[in-house]
Amino acid sequence: MKIKSLALMLSSIFTIQGQAQVLEKLDFERSTEQVAINYGDVTAIEQTNVNPISGSYSLKVSAQSHFEIMRVFEINQTLTNPTQFRVSFDVQLPEIQNSKYQGNTTLYTSLIVEFDDASQMQVYTSEADNISQEPDSIHSFDVATTLPDGKHIKHVTAYWSTHLLDEMPVVFDNIEAQLTDNSEHSNTVIQHFLMDNTTTTTIEQLQRHFSGNIALAHANSNAPSLQINADNDGRYRTKFELSNLFIVHSTPNYVVTTLTLSNPSSETVEVKLAGQAYFTRELAGAANTISQYDRLTLAPNERKTIPLMLDFSDDYYTSNISSMNFEIEAERSIFIDSTRVHTAEVRSDGAFYQVFNDYESGNIDFTTRYPEEVTISLEDNNQLNNAKNLRLTLSPWRQASYSYFFPWSETRFATQIHTQLDVNITEATYGQPVQVCTDVYYKTGKKDSFCEVRTFGKGSYQVNEVYTLDPTQSLRRFLIRVRSFSNSPATVNIDNFSLKYWQPAFN
């Protein structure tokens, strides 16, 4: 789950992955915006004008320990392409300094997608968001998943849960939900498994991937279906597994399993379907993603197509997928008429890495022209995701930067550049900007500059942006700058620095 600020303001912004559609922006200036309690020992959920995160009001949740709140975002459409749903938010623990306990507070976010047939797909990620004990800090996060196409979606519900070490309030603000149309690139779709009426399948072939008491049958046509029969425990279940998925594209965004299930009986059948994938995120290590249907009903003699999305696009890049699986359990025997498993990505392939640094090796890639006013040091304080991070202590108006010059004899072009950087600001003044800028210089003397500015003072977020460049201009230099853009000093810890760019097809 990535951390990202809604207080980021972009200059010279261009199109990113696709056209974003903002569904709702909740600022809590007039109400609690229909945020509801799902469960837990919440004593109050209300607006607060006491030190709000932004504006005049924020949302305050007062709880004794464990709680979960929720908010429904209406979709009411059938998507024509796989589409990313993203919800971002800011959170603060204003009384964390009074806690008797040491350590981070973890916040979990999950999503439930409800379709018009009342089936529900719940999406989890493997990580929690960490809220540090740094007083007066504001942390910005978001969570994303890919919604399937071809099936009418009613709404997506976001759930936030945490277990507080002490009784204290939790303040939320700037909750924003948006959709981004992410058409699959046809050259990146890889099919890993197919069972349908176009393939010749034997039970021996299916048993390589499906476990349980299964049999081939001809339920709906001459094409074979896979029948799930009762096992030795009397349960109608099977598990499908694939290992070491073959990946030729660089950054798969998701693996989707499309199942067609049918109920041959004259009675309604309740079905449970759950899937999981294990993969490796560059710079962040091992991860997993989970999706499940807890409410899936097959009417008598009904045949239904069900998408199961396992999403990798929430953070960083996926370097490999070690395994994926799904499990089906029904009240009685049902048929699997077809199964298709494929991965896809939504950006073109073939990115060139310029920087790839988690600072564990001790390599320092930032420098400064002001060594008397800027300190750059490796820290072993686990401020972010790894044991080591880079600390930048910046005097007012000063900056540290990463710079790369392309050789003058070398001709390189780029269509896009992607800057990714985890940031934790441990010293700054609320309202005073801290900048992270991506500057691209061309040999003609032209320059493109993209700056993101955070004004929340202390706290954590992530820069994770793709910027569009002029593909006709030969590249001269990349410059990434972290700057205190005010009269106030700033201490900025950075980690997981990645810089990559895409060349045009003609180059």
What is the reported pLDDT for 350? 67
Q: Cite the beta strand spans of 119-246 per DSSP E.
A: 120-125, 129-131, 139-147, 153-163, 168-181, 190-195, 214-217, 225-228, 236-243
What is the reported pLDDT for 238? 98
Q: Which of 133, 162, 128 is nearest to 41 (CA)?
A: 162
The model's confidence at residue 186, banded by pLDDT at 50, 70 and 90, is low
* pLDDT above 50 (res 8): no
What mean pLDDT do residues 239-260 have? 84
The model's confidence at residue 15, banded by pLDDT at 50, 70 and 90, is very low
Q: Which of 240, 239, 247, 248 is nearest to 321 (CA)?
A: 247
Per-residue pLDDT of 404-438, as tens digits, reads 999 999 999 999 999 999 999 999 999 999 999 99
* pLDDT above 60 (res 13): no
What mean pLDDT do residues 212-223 have? 80
Alpha-carbon span 290 to 213, nearest angstrom? 25
DSSP 94: T
Q: Which amino acid is at 179?
A: L
* pLDDT above 70 (res 250): no
What mean pLDDT do residues 182-189 have? 63
What is the reported pLDDT for 132? 83
Q: Which amino acid is at 482?
A: V
DSSP output for 411-430: ----SEEEEEEEEEEEE--T
What is the reported pLDDT for 166? 82
What is the reported pLDDT for 81? 85
What is the reported pLDDT for 5? 40
* pLDDT above 90 (res 507): no
Per-residue pLDDT of 294-339, as tens digits, reads 879 999 999 999 999 998 866 667 778 899 999 999 999 999 999 9
The model's confidence at residue 213, banded by pLDDT at 50, 70 and 90, is very high
* pTM of model > 0.85: yes
Alpha-carbon span 416 to 500, nearest angstrom? 9
Fold type of domain 186-344: Jelly Rolls (2.60.120)
Q: Which amino acid is at 443?
A: K
Alpha-carbon span 189 to 344, nearest angstrom? 4
Q: 98: helix, coil or strand?
A: helix
Q: Indicate the burial class of 97 (C-beta count within 10 angstroms; 0-12, 13-18, 19 or more).
A: exposed
Instruction: For tokens 């759930």, name the residue.
Output: 159
Token code pair at residue 472: 């006709």
Please state which of the ranges 11-20, 70-79, 170-179 shows the lowest mean pLDDT.
11-20
What is the reported pLDDT for 249? 58
* pLDDT above 70 (res 6): no
Q: Which of 135, 132, 32, 140 is nearest to 91 (CA)?
A: 140
Per-residue pLDDT of 258-289, as tens digits, reads 999 999 999 999 999 999 999 888 777 788 88
CATH architecture of 351-502: Sandwich (2.60)
Q: Which of 306, 301, 280 is nearest to 291 (CA)?
A: 306
Q: 38: Cβ–Cβ under 8 A, 6 or more apart, which residues?
A: 68, 69, 70, 159, 161
Alpha-carbon span 420 to 459, nearest angstrom? 17
* pLDDT above 80 (res 45): yes
Q: 369: Cβ–Cβ under 8 A, 6 or more apart, which residues?
A: none
Per-residue pLDDT of 141-150, as tens digits, reads 988 888 998 9
For residue 204, what is the enclosing H or E element? Answer: helix 203-206
Fold type of domain 18-181: Jelly Rolls (2.60.120)
Alpha-carbon span 319 to 258, nearest angstrom? 23
Instruction: For tokens 């199942």, name the residue.
Output: 259
What is the reported pLDDT for 3? 43
Alpha-carbon span 498 to 284, nearest angstrom? 12
Average pLDDT across the chain, whole number = 88
In the chain, how long is the greatest CA-to-CA distance? Answer: 81
Which one has a higher pLDDT value, 14 or 183? 183
Residues of the chain with CATH 2.60.120.260: 18-181, 186-344, 351-502
Per-residue pLDDT of 346-386, as tens digits, reads 666 667 878 889 898 899 999 999 999 999 999 987 656 66
Alpha-carbon span 105 to 386, nearest angstrom? 17
* pLDDT above 90 (res 190): no
Q: What b/e readout covers 228-240, taking b as 16+ CB neighbours within 10 angstroms?
A: beeeeeeebbbeb
Q: Which of 43, 65, 69 is nearest to 166 (CA)?
A: 65
